[in-house]
Amino acid sequence: MTTFAIGDTDFLLDGRPHRVIAGALHYFRIHPDHWADRIRKARLMGLNTIETYVAWNAHEPVRGEWDATGWNDLGRFLDLIAAEGMHAIVRPGPYICAEWHNGGLPVWLTSTPGIGLRRSEPQYVEAVSTYLRRVYEIVAPRQIDRGGNVVLVQIENEYGAYGSDHDYLRTLTELTRACDITVPLTTVDQPEPHMLAAGTLPDLHATGSFGSRATERLATLREHQPTGPLMCSEFWDGWFDWWGGVHHTTDAAASATELDALLAAGASVNIYMLHGGSNFGTTNGANDKGRYAPIITSYDYDAPLDESGHPTEKYHAFREVIARYAPVPDEVPSARPVAPALSVPLRGTGDWLPTSTEAGAERAGGSTPPTFEDLGQLGPLVRYDIPLPAEAFGDAGTAVLSFTEVRDLAWIAVDGAPIGRLQRALHERSLPIPRGSLLTVLVEDQGRVNYEIRLGEAKGVVGPVTLGGHELSGWSAQAVDLATVAAGIPDGSEQPTAGRIGLAGTFDLDEPTDLFLDTDAWSKGYAFVNGFFLGRYWRNGPQRTLYVPAPATRAGANEIVVVELEHVIEPVAAFVAEPDLGHREE
């Protein structure tokens, strides 16, 4: 039986000192057909371990409907890591942050009335216990002392930045042990004294998360973890991007120098990220520290392996550093090939938004419109309609429409005519509208906050709405099924391409291959290839291309569908030779 333990100064593999040199791969951000490739390239960089979060809301978006197949097959992912001769670290949360929507927590959980998140509250603890038991059913038989490869399991995630309920941490620890998890248990926090004190327990091994000043931060960590191996279990080698921002990068040489300092100090490390992947569909998270900032579709992270899984300058720089401290294979992965470039004419199929009279609308007689949660909407769009009272306008031709809050972006129309839009990111809540009969508000959830106190907040039109000071009541609301909309677009007849529109086209490939879809000719919306939901695009940038993984394509005819929310400049889909993730800070 192979053993893995924590010694006085080192991790111990079968009783001998062992350094963990790991990299983060999130299986839920990578096409399953690419898992083995990314794992292999991790080994070729010199890593001996793969770390992954577990995204609860990917496995159980609807309460009681647990899924551990396909994209969610954590067991297969761990087995592929083992097949490459590598160890695994599992971080099941339940909260993961990760710039992933709602920090990995299911909407059904966070919208439960009276629930207390990430603390010893009975409803929350009960749901978390059920979730963790399901995860540990997968993990327990794959531990290293059972002939598997899992060497560490993490309790919660950067908890010291959120709370200090040690009873909650103790409950998670006791449950984990009761589920037959016998490998060492860890916690992770930024190396700030108050976070390290709040985020762990004496019987858990504390690790740090940081990307710079390694020597100083390891010293702080050692003050709070006086024995055992030092470990940076999130070595931030890049950063994430948000709409309206810049594409963040870090200098490869500078990152390599910090990694060298970590390894020279004898520390273990987990590189976050080794390969970021993509927020396919609408799985991106958001931050809100005074200004709402939704995360883009790409999770490239300026990682050693780029979004399409190919080595970057940083990969080679890290590989060179690791070779000073551990064996590195001779084989080196090849560079990213040039992708096929082609232009595909798109036909417009008219406005795709269902009318307010179609089945599925829910009526709310009061003054507060239903939220996405009230409607059970897990997709990004809800349409709201309400008759406009003439008295709200008085003798004027216009009146001010004012919302308590819109989460997160709303398009306003009167009698079907577009009036304007309101953006949460710009703190916009009101605009004048002309006299009319029917108000329509299309609201997009741009990404659920994955950090701090806004975790689990409601989406949609939140709170009462007034027109000319008069409170509006009698709303109807309809959840828009984006998959159904996209599937129906190719069946439409040709229409002009002005305004909100569906677009479709076909293109041929000699064989399945990675593609990069240029979105510059469009405004804001969603793109699909052969029914595979690539994600969001927006001229707001910085991202200018969407990654199309080869397994989503096929030899012969392929289909592209675009669901445009505003307007297109040109009805064409251009596939380009390489990705464009936008401008950088100089």
Q: Block means of pLDDT (10 residues each) for the chain, length 586 residues?
A: 96 98 98 98 98 98 98 99 98 98 98 98 98 99 98 98 97 98 98 97 98 96 97 98 97 98 98 98 97 98 98 98 98 98 94 72 78 97 97 95 98 97 98 98 98 94 96 96 92 72 97 98 98 98 98 98 96 98 86
pLDDT for residue 491: 65
The amino acid that residue 440 corresponds to is: T
Residues 360, 354: contact at Cβ < 8 Å?
A: yes
What does the alpha-carbon distance between residue 128 and residue 118 come to, in Å, rounded to a whole number? 9
Per-residue tokens: 302: 């300026």
pLDDT for 575 equals 98
Query: Of 60, 99, 234, 564, which one is the catalytic site residue?
Result: 234
CATH number of 362-479: 2.60.120.260
Instruction: Look at residue 586 in the predicted model and tell me its pLDDT.
Output: 60
**Is 234 an annotated catalytic residue?**
yes
Tell me the backbone φ, ψ of residue 383, rounded to 5 degrees. -100, 130
Which pLDDT value is given to residue 311? 98
Decide if 486 contacts 528 (C-beta within 8 A): yes
Residues 542 and 502: their CA atoms lie apart, in Å, by: 23
d(CA 314, CA 306): 10
Q: Do residues 437 and 388 lie in contact, with contact meaning Cβ atoms separated by under 8 Å?
A: yes
Give residue 490's pLDDT: 79
Known active-site residue 570: no
One of 3.20.20.80, 1.25.40.10, 3.40.50.1980, 3.40.30.110 is the CATH number of 4-322, namely 3.20.20.80
What local confidence, expressed as pLDDT, does residue 358 receive?
52
Q: Check: CB of residue 191 under 8 Å from CB of residue 220.
A: yes
Q: Which of 158, 307, 444, 564 is catalytic?
A: 158
Q: Which of 279, 271, 188 is nearest to 240 (CA)?
A: 279
- Please state the three-class secondary structure of 196-257 as a single string: HHHCCCCCCEEEEEECCCHHHHHHHHHHHCCCCCCEEEEEECCCCCECCCCCCCCCHHHHHH
Per-residue confidence (pLDDT) for residue 496, from 0 to 100 = 67
- What one-character-per-residue DSSP string does 136-147 give? HHHHGGGBGGGT
CB 448 within 8 A of CB 343: no
- Domain ranges in the chain with CATH number 2.60.120.260: 342-351+482-576, 362-479
Q: Omega before 415 cis (within 30°)? A: no
pLDDT of residue 547: 99
Rounded-to-integer distance, Cα 40 and Cα 85, Å: 10
**Closest to 137 (Cα-Cα) out of 76, 188, 181, 201:** 181
CATH superfamily of 342-351+482-576: Galactose-binding domain-like (2.60.120.260)
Quote the CA–CA distance of 299 and 24 in Å, as a whole number. Answer: 12
Residue 372: the pLDDT is 98
CATH 3.20.20.80 residue spans of the chain: 4-322
Residue 96 makes CB contacts below 8 A (sequence gap 6+) with 53, 54, 55, 56, 103, 104, 157
DSSP assignment of 389-405: PGGGTTTSSEEEEEEEE
**CB neighbours (10 Å) of residue 217?**
23
